[in-house]
A = this chain, B = another copy of it.
Amino acid sequence: MLSNHLQNGIETARLAWSRLPNAEEGEQEDIGLVQRSDGSSSVESLDYEVVENYAYWEEQAQRGKLYVGYYVMVKWFFSLLIGIGTGLAAVFINLSVENFAGWKFALTFSIIQKSYVAGFFVYVLINLVLVFSSVYIVTNFAPEAAGSGIPEIKGYLNGIDIHGILLFRTLIGKIFGSIGSVGGGLALGKEGPLVHTGACIASLLGQGGSTKYHLSSRWLQGFKSDRDRRDLVTCGCAAGVAAAFRAPVGGVLFALEEVTSWWRSQLMWRVFFTSAVVAVVVRTAMGWCKSGNCGHFGSGGFIIWDISGAQEDYSFEEMLPMAIIGVVGGLLGALFNQLTRYISYWRRNHLHKKGNRVKIIEACLVSLITSFISFGLPLLRKCSPCPVSDPDSGIECPRPPGMYGNYVNFYCSKDNEYNDLATIFFNTQDDAIRNLFSAKTIHEYSAQSLLTFLVMFYTLAVVTFGTAVPAGQFVPGIMIGSTYGRLVGMFVVNFYKKLNIEEGTYALLGAASFLGGSMRMTVSLCVIMVEITNNLKLLPLIMLVLLISKAVGDAFNEGLYEEQAQLRGIPLLESRPKYQMRKMAAKEACGQRVVSFPRVVKVADVVSILQSNKHNGFPVIDHTRNGETLVIGLMLRSHMLVLLQSKVDFQHSPLPSDTRAGSRPIRHTPSEFVKPVSSKGLTLDDIHLSPDDLEMYIDLAPFLNPSPYIVPEDMSLTKVYNLFRQLGLRHIFVVPRPSRVIGLITRRDLLIEDNEESATELQSTSVRARHHDRRVSMGNGDAELPLLNGLLVQGHTSS
């Protein structure tokens, strides 16, 4: 009987230990988890760690290749769905915005033929209603939909789950909120929100629909692990950019450069596919709309500011003004980050604490100011006479009212005059940018108008940033940048007096420089700029300008998204360790004392431990036969809470359950251990335990992560940081320096091919020999079956 008992113990222990790897593809295992950041209660930890040692997965693995094939297929199918969904969302948003704005301008133009005052009131009123609808939806229905959402998505992919950012209501709030805020003419864009929208769609698909609104579908619930969800959200993010700018390659690079902390080539491949799907969906929809089915949409909007007619060539003298644009972009971008940081800080800590009404009033006030300025300022501006243009160019001056194009006749006394300030100010942003980028329109704008616009719009953009509406910074950034770019271009044209210099090209470079100076992206931004302007020839120039502006900006502060993430208390791990970490050892970084569990723990103890601290991970310690302690794994707080809630694993005996029962029945499905995305998850307060329950025990062995990563206590903190970030870990055990080395893994050991025999060479040397003896005396069995010894000693006692 004893030998049977022992055999059972050995088997169970083996099982417990052999369930090391996690899920489906044998890829990375522990991904980016985070300690709950204390200061900000809204930040939740994101549990990428799957319940990796649970028997369910063992079963799944046994189903083998067929299951893996199915799983891969589902992944690709999801990528397809994300692409389609995000593409459609983008088309819907753009369609609505273009129609609202087009209708608004058409109405205003038709009214101002009779009365400017009436037109003004109508214009202000429409804007106010649109902005009010947006801010009302956001404040009352989806508060997480405010802002661009990119810092939050960045945080999610870095490992931090912020409440509510990936919920269905946020998706809805984001879509309808951006329609209102962008249609209402505020100084913000719809591109950032689209990235968030894509991420929401991806996340909702990943959990098989929204559980709250009963839109959940059972057969889509394959993706319960946080790692899979994170991959989907990455796809959604890329799809968002691809849809927002119609820039598929830019989308892939954005996801790569800006958002993901952790990247694999397989994922790149899937992200690429998603972006391609988006491109096809958007193109199809645009084709359908071109036949006039979509109202105002399709004639002008949806990005692509084609400047293929721009200057073909550039000379070395132009490098200097271009460098100046880069420097200006860096300065203005850094200033923008700084100002928005201050304003957001003030809003967060003072204004927005006063409740939703204040938020609504604030947004409406901003809307009123914006309407006043954009209507009022052009009125003060004197009109210029139309230039004598050749009829071939297709540019009419003045343009017919209510249509898109340059040279708007606004409050002009004569018929063949135009108002240059109204051309950029009293217009949708897409059209304003198109007008600023436009070639063959030299001297369309006066320096005075451009300067006025720059100052006013910059101020508006800063003030608008942080109001409770969905708001992107791409388009405002392009507006600001292209204004001073065009300004520089005007001086260049006047100074060099060459015919082949186009002001529109300088406007483009200015736009790139401001975005570079503010957002500090390089490769993805460069590709996005090229894709939206459809002109590859300017690529080296855009690169140059971006390099300069990013370098200048970096001298002052961090990128916009990093600043905002910091402000919101999202603890992003940067890609490089801090300088002072070089002088620190791993041990010095451990801020808190370790609290550990024994293998079999009393429920009352669990509760008191969980109550007494906020740790999310606990080492589990067991004893070997000869009384030595041994770390057998890591137990997560969230998993512990699930065990406490379900109670099925409670036992009366304080001995490990395996030795008594043989193989345990499966009492949990892995999905029980998964926290729904964007939710708070279980807390101790949700769990009610009777006094009897508190006297029970739990054997933690089947539920812990048996081999978390470990580092020796005196390892340099930079090394630890790299380990942590590169592998996206949540917990690392700092352990004492080991007493011996069992083996050395080298590259060759990891190249597992068919020929494994050739590698065994036995050596015996004088130096090693004296250690060898020692090693043998320490007992080989001890090295091979550490848990087993603990089991055996207890099994022995119990039998």
Contacts and interface: CB of A to CB of B under 8 A. Distances in A.
Given A714-B20, A761-B592, A744 B736 contact: no
Contact of A540 (B283, B573, B601): B283
A478 B751 CA distance: 33
Contacts of A734: 741-745
- The 10 A-B pairs of least Cβ separation, nearest first, read A590-B743, A20-B716, A35-B746, A735-B738, A276-B543, A707-B715, A591-B759, A279-B540, A734-B743, A21-B582
A550 B718 CA distance: 38
B745 A594 contact: no
Contacts of A712: 707, 710
In this complex, which of A37, A711, A742 has the most chain B Cβ atoms within 10 angstroms of its Cβ? A742
Nearest to A740: B629
A38 to B, nearest CB: 7
Interface stretch (A330-338, A524-532, A640-648): A524-532
10 contacts: A38-B748, A39-B758, A265-B575, A527-B527, A589-B752, A590-B743, A595-B765, A621-B741, A709-B719, A732-B745
A663 interface: no
B597 A767 contact: yes
B612 A763 contact: yes
Contact of A629 (B547, B583, B774): B774
Contacts of A660: none
A640 to B, nearest CB: 12
Contact of A543 (B39, B248, B593, B715): B248
Contact of A724 (B531, B736, B742, B750): B750
B268 A752 contact: no
A566 to B, nearest CB: 9
Contact of A21 (B28, B716, B758): B716
Interface string A253-285: 100110000011110110011011001100110
Contact of A280 (B28, B29, B540): B540
A630 B740 CA distance: 6
A795 interface: no
A716 B709 CA distance: 11
A690 interface: no
Nearest to A252: B523
A591 B748 contact: yes
A720 B573 CA distance: 23
A272 B544 CA distance: 10
Nearest to A764: B612
Interface string A701-732: 00000110111111111111111111100111
A752 B716 contact: no
Contact of A765 (B39, B605, B766): B605
A18 to B, nearest CB: 7
A737 to B, nearest CB: 5
In the complex, which range does the number of interface residues on chain A fall in?
A: 35 or more
Interface in A360-384: none
A768 interface: yes
Contacts of A583: 18, 21
Interface in A491-539: 522-523, 526-527, 530-531, 534, 536-537, 539
A722 B727 contact: yes
B724 A726 contact: no
A71 to B, nearest CB: 13
Nearest to A717: B750
A631 B738 contact: yes
Contacts of A774: 629
Contacts of A732: 744-746
Contacts of A609: 765, 767-768
Contact of A269 (B522, B534, B763): B522
Contacts of A526: 249, 272
B710 A716 contact: no
A61 interface: yes
A20 B727 contact: no
Contacts of A272: 522-523, 526, 543, 547
Nearest to A554: B269
A760 interface: yes
Contacts of A580: 752
Contacts of A149: none
A401 to B, nearest CB: 30
Nearest to A543: B276
Given A35-B748, A726-B727, 10 more contacts: A20-B716, A248-B543, A589-B750, A593-B768, A614-B761, A710-B710, A713-B742, A732-B744, A734-B741, A735-B740
B273 A547 contact: yes
Contact of A742 (B735, B739, B750): B735
Contacts of A591: 748-749, 756, 759-760
A766 B611 CA distance: 12
Given A26-B577, A26-B582, A621-B771, A743 B594 contact: yes
Contacts of A28: 722, 726
A759 B714 contact: no
A767 B522 contact: no
A713 B747 contact: no
A714 B706 contact: yes
A77 to B, nearest CB: 14
Contact of A763 (B256, B613, B731, B738): B613
Contacts of A596: 741, 767-768, 771
Contacts of A547: 272-273, 276
Contacts of A579: 26
A760 B593 CA distance: 8
A598 interface: yes
A28 B717 CA distance: 11
Contacts of A530: 249, 536
A189 interface: no
A75 interface: no
A578 B756 CA distance: 14
Nearest to A61: B582
Interface in A408-428: none
Contacts of A631: 737-741
A26 B590 contact: no
A147 to B, nearest CB: 22
Contact of A571 (B27, B544, B614, B748): B748
Interface string A16-42: 011011000111111001110111000
Nearest to A284: B316
A765 B571 contact: no
Contacts of A750: 573, 577, 589, 717, 720-721, 724-725
A159 interface: yes
A256 B531 CA distance: 20
Interface in A631-686: 631-632
A423 B711 CA distance: 65
A784 interface: yes
A605 to B, nearest CB: 4
Interface in A1-57: 17-18, 20-21, 25-30, 33-35, 37-39
Contacts of A756: 591
